Amino acid sequence: MIVGIIGSGAMGSGIAQVIATAGHKVHLLDKNAQALERAAKSIKGSLRKLSAKGKLSENDAADIQDRLNFTEAHQDFGDCDLVLEAVVEDLEVKQNLFREVEMIVPEHCILASNTSSLSIASIASACQNPERFIGIHFFNPAPVMPLVEIIPAVQTREGLAEEIKDMVQSWGKLPVIAQDTPGFIVNRVARPFYGEAIRIYEEGIADIATIDWAMTELGGFKMGPFTLMDFIGHDVNYRVTESVFASFFYDPRYKPSFTQKRLFEAGYFGRKSGRGFYNYQEGAVPPAPTRDEQLGHYILNRILAMLINEAIDALALRVASKEDLELAMTKGVNYPKGLLAWADELGAQHVLATLDGLYKEYHEDRYRASPLLRKMVRENQTFFPGL
């Protein structure tokens, strides 16, 4: 199988490395020669590190590099069986790209987008044969992160999603299938991890260090929400939040915050710029959390209830199966537990009481409980009976 990747940034080059490692010839395309040169160096360095750690032989590393063709010409895609784009998150740019590519690739070639926030149906609409179009969303860094979201559009031919799932598994990844809804699984379900944490901070209930401490030390999350937002970058995280909010017809559950918007506007993107919620400049002293366990459990319970409710609502609306929802959140964003299993552990009644308490206090629609959660409580059901 011959694969074309468009865009040689961190994501595109990472995907190219994954697919070449799986044994396929890969054309990595970028119109920027310097970007291609950086990608080649990055992949070579990554393979060298894997060899040094004994995870890859020198011969295998050399074979992987031999399967990579760095090109500035779309014409090289004439023999491709799959073309996947990983360019800027701009609908018009992606549509124009596929209009051009579709004229070059063979009729059997599958066309795919790595978008994290745009409608697959909208991108596919630019194609003359949208039946062969699908979303294949990797997580950054692609060689390391195991999860891949597969998103069929309304136009995608029946059976293609399952074919892609088998293919992605053969690459050593963990695929999940999601509906073509804003944020797919991970970027939809994870929104309260950021949004509710900021809300608690804005209200003066706790500072950023204390909220991060509560979520990591008491909740078992690998990173607190503010550390994670700074790590992702507010130029990325805020834009995704804004995109999901608009795509959901301005549902208050996904409403962005002015606090993060101001960081974005100021260019305080987080680690990459030296400043975000935290100061990363040399000599800066990180703030110490208030290790108040009662406060910490309040923070954890509030954010966790919002996350669980989002996962339950995604299940109710058939965004994905319960198994794929659990896999997506544990392998895509490294949550310590699947949110539906966590709901069973805490008890649906506890989660509902937390949400209803918040709604009673604020009278905001962001705290509305999923009808499925109410049904689970009413019928005394669990998501994973017998576990």
**42 belongs to the catalytic site:** no
- Annotated active-site residue in 85, 149, 196, 310: 149
Helix, strand, or coil here: 259? helix
CA dihedral sign, ordered 42, 44, 48, 50: positive
- Annotated active-site residue in 8, 113, 116, 301: 116
Report d(CA 295, CA 227) in Å as an integer: 19
Helix, strand, or coil here: 331? helix
**149 belongs to the catalytic site:** yes
Where are the strands (E) in the chain, listed by range?
A: 2-6, 25-29, 68-71, 82-85, 110-113, 133-138, 147-152, 174-177
Q: Is the peptide bond before 286 cis (omega within 30 degrees of 0)?
A: no
**116 belongs to the catalytic site:** yes
Report d(CA 8, CA 29) in Å as an integer: 7
**137 belongs to the catalytic site:** yes
Q: Which residues in 249-284 are b (16+ Cβ under 10 Å) and which e? A: eeeebbbbbeebeebbeeebbbeebebbbbeeeeee
Report how far apart, in Å, the C-alpha atoms of 109 and of each of 17, 132, 347 are: 20, 8, 48
Which residues are identified as catalytic? 116, 137, 149, 187
